[in-house]
Amino acid sequence: MTDSSGPDVAAVIESLMREVPDFPEPGIQFKDLTPVLADARGLATVTDALAAVAGDVDLVAGIDARGFLLGAAVAIRLGTGVLAIRKGGKLPPPVHGETYDLEYGSATLEIPADGMDLAGLRVLLVDDVLATGGTLAAATKLLRTGGASITDAAVVLELSALNGRATLPDLAVTSLYVV
């Protein structure tokens, strides 16, 4: 599912997002959401729109690193906790890990395998961008390994040309802005 959550959300994102040509490599038109998050109205608008996707959840999970910021803001709005899904090697063992392909290589995501019980928790998964879908797919697999149920995933920006949504057939994904 794609939901722009009204023209105001999309207009705010579009007005604040910075486009950087030829980054991180020639031919790529990088979409920088940093100005959206640094702007009080932008952050509040995006946070409210992402929180509106949640439904009845017990936890918000944010993906390293901008997903941490978004996930924490959404969790505060919802009155839940937040789980930081980390890049590989950042958490003490034991961990659950998942390696996946990116647009420019591969990476690993991890969550604690000890210290918290995800079994039966309803989780909203939050990230900044849906590109090829590898990051959301890996995060979903990690959370399910821990026993969580992913109610929805929500992202600020979807790069539709990379067709990442097709790699997530069993995950409801809401994108606030699609290019």
Model pLDDT for residues 50-107, shown as the tens digit of each residue: 999 999 999 999 999 999 999 999 999 999 999 999 999 999 999 999 999 776 678 9
**Would residue 98 show up in a list of annotated catalytic residues for this protein?**
no
User: Strand, coil or helix: what is 106?
Assistant: strand
Tokens 């890996």 belong to which residue? 138
pLDDT on residue 7: 53
* The pairing of beta strand 149-158 with beta strand 122-130: parallel
Per-residue model confidence as pLDDT tens digits over 5-55: 455 999 999 999 999 999 988 998 999 999 999 999 999 999 999 999 999
Catalytic residue among 66, 86, 98, 110: 66
Amino acid at 140: T
**DSSP assigned state of 25:** S
Per-residue model confidence as pLDDT tens digits over 108-148: 999 999 999 999 999 999 999 999 999 999 999 999 999 99
What are the residue ranges of helices labelled H in 29-130? 34-38, 40-53, 66-78
Say what the pTM is: 0.92
**DSSP assigned state of 133:** S
**DSSP assigned state of 73:** H
Catalytic residue among 77, 103, 122, 144: 103
pLDDT on residue 105: 77
Q: 156: closest CA among 22, 35, 21?
A: 35
Q: List the chain domain ranges.
A: 7-86+119-131+146-178
**Would residue 110 show up in a list of annotated catalytic residues for this protein?**
no
The CATH architecture assigned to 7-86+119-131+146-178 reads 3-Layer(aba) Sandwich (3.40)
Going edge to edge, which strands form the sheet with 59-63? 95-102, 105-112, 81-87, 59-63, 122-130, 149-158, 173-178
